[in-house]
Amino acid sequence: MLAEMSNDQRRQLIDAQQAFHAWREADREFRHSYRGGMRWRRIARHEYLYRIQGKVEKSLGPRSPQTERLLADYQSQRTRLRERRRRLSGKLDKMARLNRAHGIGRMPATAAKVLRKLDEAGLLGNQLFLVGTHSLYAYEAKAGVRFETDLTATSDLDLLVDARQHMSLAVAEDVKPEGIMGLLRKADRSFTRTDEFRATNDDGYYVDLIAPFRAHEASEAAIRLGDTNDDLAAAAILGLQWLINAPKFEEIVIGSDGRPLWVSCIDPRAFALHKYWVSRQNSREPTKRRRDAAQARAVAFVASDYLNLEFKAKDLSALPLDLTTVAKELVAAAHKERDRA
């Protein structure tokens, strides 16, 4: 079901997470406050200081000791922050080799690239969050364990289908007009829309957008995102509203390339209970139902025994009450499976 990380792996993971946290803070501050620049512009016989952000230019006033200090402080802080970001990025590059050597790079490469772009755009953790199998990498990083690969793969006929080749993103609210496809193509130019709610790259990796049914949209097949025909829609999924409203879970994980990334997904307790519910649906394919049940037990075990999270109805009020009452049964089943292993 799972194996604990060694002390060396834990130490390396913590070091990488701390370095990445510092880099991400510096990068976000730079993007928010210091992207673009300032410059003097002569109008008639006077010079004015302008703040430039993309195509927007705003006058900060005529040249004076005050605006000269403003420009000097801005340039000094911008240089300092850019140097800090560059230095931390170099440190992360060096740590990437160690992360791979220690075997802590778990998030598949394409998924990591996509999630980094979504985080950079400010969508991850706001309009979008991760659901499905890829969430396990966040849970195991927090707990200091590794889930066995049979929880990320399922047998379908005589073929082994690797679930890590498929990532699902849940939509909590409308996405920015530029849409998702533009961000996916920044991560990998080969991404194309292959279905209304699915994009696939040349390696066969696909990303699905899913959204909960809403009362006035329950009869629709999909919920449109963005404002262009080329953009993706989100497939409406029954039961997903529970996850939209469930507590969220954030963690820094390591990609298979050795570089860290920030992940926002659902609370592991909500994940386990939802997977348990899915495993009980007769419309679900039998092979997928078995994997759903196995993932539910494994994540429930990690949540209770490693993360010390209690399955309290108050914490999980977004889920149906009859579902939260099976939590004890689920945790007990997880312990029994663990004892047999």
| Any domain includes 123 | yes
Are 79 and 124 members of one domain? Answer: no
Domain end, chosen from 178, 208, 238, is at 238
In 172-228, beta strands by DSSP E: 192-195, 198-200, 206-212, 222-224
Are 114 and 231 members of one domain? Answer: yes
Q: How far apart are CA 317 and CA 162, in angstroms?
A: 33
What are the backbone angles phi and psi of residue 247, rounded to the nearest 5°?
Answer: -60, 150
Q: How far apart are CA 301 and CA 296, in angstroms?
A: 9
| CA dist 147 → 22, 133, 156, 188 (Å) | 28, 11, 21, 27
How would residue 231 be classed by pLDDT, with cut points 50, 70 and 90?
Answer: low
| Any domain includes 283 | no
Domain end, chosen from 195, 214, 238, is at 238
Residue of higher predicted confidence among 275 and 243? 275
| Any domain includes 275 | no
Are 10 and 61 members of one domain? Answer: yes
| Any domain includes 332 | no
| Any domain includes 324 | no
Q: How far apart are CA 323 and CA 321, in angstroms?
A: 5
**Structural tokens at position 130:** 């991760």
pLDDT given at position 216? 45
What are the backbone angles phi and psi of residue 255, rounded to the nearest 5°?
Answer: -80, 165
Are 115 and 225 members of one domain? Answer: yes
Q: Average of pLDDT values for 233-245?
A: 68
How would residue 2 be classed by pLDDT, with cut points 50, 70 and 90?
Answer: confident
Start-to-end CA distance of the chain, whole Å, equals 8
Are 230 and 113 members of one domain? Answer: yes
Are 75 and 116 members of one domain? Answer: no
Domain end, chosen from 184, 213, 238, is at 238
Are 114 and 234 members of one domain? Answer: yes
What distance lies between CA 176 and its chain's CA centroid?
Answer: 17
Q: Which of 7-21, 31-45, 204-218, 265-279 has the lowest mean pLDDT?
A: 204-218
pLDDT given at position 221? 37
Nearest residue to 279 via CA among 271, 288, 267 = 288
| Any domain includes 303 | no
User: Which structural domain range is residue 125 located in?
Assistant: 109-148+159-238
**By the 8 A CB rule, do 257 and 231 touch?**
no
pLDDT given at position 137? 95
Beta carbons within 10 angstroms of residue 78's beta carbon: 17
Flag whether pLDDT at 224 surpasses 50: no
Amino acid identity of residue 208, one-letter, is: D
Are 42 and 144 members of one domain? Answer: no
| Any domain includes 183 | yes
β-strand partners of 170: 129, 210
- Helix (H) or strand (E) segment spanning residue 272: helix 268-279
pLDDT tens for each residue of 176-214: 545 788 899 999 999 998 887 888 999 989 888 887 655
Helices 268-279 and 135-143, packing angle to 10 deg: 130
Are 134 and 72 members of one domain? Answer: no
Per the structure, how many domains does the chain have? 2
246 CB-contact burial (10 Å; exposed 0-12 / middle 13-18 / buried 19+): buried
Amino acid identity of residue 336, one-letter, is: K
Are 136 and 229 members of one domain? Answer: yes
| Any domain includes 76 | yes
Are 212 and 138 members of one domain? Answer: yes
Q: Which of 2-6, 63-67, 121-125, 150-154 has the lowest mean pLDDT?
A: 150-154
Are 185 and 115 members of one domain? Answer: yes
What 8-state DSSP symbol labels residue 216?
G
Question: CA geometry: angle at 196 spanning 128 and 186, to 5°?
Answer: 55
pLDDT given at position 235? 60
Kindly give the pairing relationship between strand 159-162 and strand 153-156.
antiparallel
